[in-house]
Structure 1
């Protein structure tokens, strides 16, 4: 098993999807006809509900799907009022015309129960439960389901809390030190959006589930968290770093892993398989396929796919963003540079091709989350 400072970079711990499948089996012992349980996450930056995890016993799972929350009056109201929804006859009560409603009808689902998820006051998304039988969700069944669904909510909220704690730690350190590097909030948002865009584009090639894609999106913004431990005189030096300074700068990777390990331990979520995605991103996002990266000189398949995705996202953002020492590159020029790095054997070709194939979406992210003039 590949390790970083003694920390395993891969894990066989049960994923959220596997936990949901076990919960599904438990529900079926109490309620017959539950064909599907699925969770969708909400992204407030884009107003999108996105497929995340599912357990589907009957029908085909809907994957890689997103929908604006504001386009659904009923779901928007539920998110605002913290209410649940029961539909006893899907064909009668849900009008066709969008991919999700049409998909529900095609699968033969007859009734559904929907519950919003929250982390404190923050809306996280929805849990959708569908049945092939009508009028399944009686008051008694709803009470049982709400108790079980709270376990899903708490597990997802724990991960979000850990990530938010890490981001808050980084922000507090930057504020306290009056640090003015390029790790702005918009940079972190762009990183998350670019990483998800790339991951969606390579999902088929690398067999990435919606769960894996969303964790890459969630954790990408933590890639350089270790920089809060680098002295300003090095982090903000306007000139080229010397060999000793470069070694200190590269130490931010190990510092980042240490920070994440501590927060995962403090929040008691380090046992989760998804925590390994976070660690992999922080530990390996400066590695190159040809072994010329740092800190471990990993090559090719030794670099986890989530780190390869974040590496491409990070370089693309650096090229297309303004810095005190450079003007932003046009998206087309940045893509050409990434492709040059592919030819040099440094970057994952599929990840770069994903950006190229979604150039319009990438350009929209650049424009929408542009930093203020430096």
Structure 2
């Protein structure tokens, strides 16, 4: 199997989820390197300085998931990122104790050696790829060099997802300019609401059967929820007073404008059929829908409303309530949660999503303090 064949095959796999792409890559790696029993990618979130499990393919029934830790807590990974270097561990069991949680998990599941590579875009760290084997010393020879093609394929697959949101943002910036975007949504609002969205997604992951991939895509794409506002006239968008009924209807049009914008960018990129594009579209399409069908623009209700839409709606409402606006003072977290309870009891919000946010009180306050609010 030559490298050209691998790249062409990967192109054919791009219509699937990233998890399925990772499985496909692993299967092809095993044909030449049967000692590679696990490939996993962790994302680095620079905003929170966290390293987070993302996608993997392995020979275990229950892979490591929903795990995160500060990158600074791992001196070895920090050094790899700083030096742009790789790491081979010939025998995980020989590492000094106490073992880190990730190392303990590997040993408990029978893995003995590992090869780790940091992933960069334009010199900026965005994650790590880990290759693990049940054989000690598996990566001591030429194998680490042979795996470089799979490192690059992993890098390309992840960047395809990360660059989706950048492509949409870039198109808007060219069309209307940075100053206007700042008026639409402040950066700190987007940081907070995307972080709340991730908290909620993690909190409901067991119930809905979500993995790390879905959670990170909600986090990555939630800042694009109001992207369609770029097509709304400034006289309406920036109006300090109350909108007229006619202006309100025009403002509601930002949802369909946003979906159109996403579809155009994705069509140009040839990525319209991927699962992560569906998450992006649903975030934009459904962030003003309610569970009882009273939202807009389509009046979706119940199970017809995608979970990512329910999540982003709650995160956006919560941040709007707890921040100062020209027409109101900021609400306390307690009062904002009481309003979410009222909307939940009225059938508008998903009860599990509301509970997931409420159960993350300490993390909510940490997000607020980090991104400009004193809760």
Q: Give TM-score scaled by structure 2 length.
A: 0.91
Shift in alpha-carbon separation, 1:63–1:365, aligned structure 2, 3 A: same
153-162 or 338-347, which deviates more: 153-162
Shift in alpha-carbon separation, 1:182–1:360, aligned structure 2, 3 A: farther
Q: Is it true that 1:48 corresponds to 2:50 in the alignment?
A: yes
Q: Do the aligned residues in 1 keep the contact of 2:237 with 2:251 (CA within 8 Å)? A: yes
Q: Return the alpha-carbon distance in structure 2 between the equivalents of residues 38 and 322 of structure 1.
A: 42
Which residue among 284, 291, 294 is the counterpart of 2:293? Answer: 291
Residue in 2 that maps onto 1:77: 79
Residue in 1 that maps onto 2:356: 354
Deviations 1:148-180 (A, max 9, x none): 121111111122122123234445556466466
Deviations 1:81-116 (A, max 9, x none): 221111100011354343212212211210001111
Q: Do the aligned residues in 2 keep the contact of 1:182 with 1:323 (CA within 8 Å)? A: no
Shift in alpha-carbon separation, 1:223–1:78, aligned structure 2, 3 A: same
Residue in 1 that maps onto 2:90: 88
How many aligned residue pairs are there? 361
Shift in alpha-carbon separation, 1:353–1:250, aligned structure 2, 3 A: same
Which residue among 261, 266, 272 is the counterpart of 2:268? Answer: 266
118-127 or 61-70, which deviates more: 118-127
Shift in alpha-carbon separation, 1:178–1:223, aligned structure 2, 3 A: closer
Q: Is it true that 1:240 corresponds to 2:222 in the alignment?
A: no
168-177 or 178-187, which deviates more: 168-177
Residue in 2 that maps onto 1:369: 371
**TM-superposed deviation, 1:144:** 2.0
Shift in alpha-carbon separation, 1:317–1:105, aligned structure 2, 3 A: same
**TM-superposed deviation, 1:52:** 0.4
Residue in 2 that maps onto 1:186: 188
**TM-superposed deviation, 1:254:** 0.8
Q: Do the aligned residues in 1 keep the contact of 2:173 with 2:181 (CA within 8 Å)? A: no
| Gap runs ≥5 in structure 2 | 1-13
Q: Residues 55-204 of structure 1: matches in 2 within 5 Å?
A: 55-58=57-60, 60-93=62-95, 95-171=97-173, 175=177, 178=180, 181=183, 183-204=185-206
Q: Return the alpha-carbon distance in structure 2 between the equivalents of residues 224 and 259 of structure 1.
A: 11
Residue in 2 that maps onto 1:27: 29
SS in 2 for 1:294: coil
Residue in 1 that maps onto 2:9: none
Deviations 1:314-365 (A, max 9, x none): 0001011111221111111111110110000000100000011111111221
**TM-superposed deviation, 1:181:** 3.3
Residue in 1 that maps onto 2:5: none
Q: CA RMSD in A?
A: 1.9
Residue in 1 that maps onto 2:207: 205
Q: Return the alpha-carbon distance in structure 2 between the equivalents of residues 177 and 22 of structure 1.
A: 43
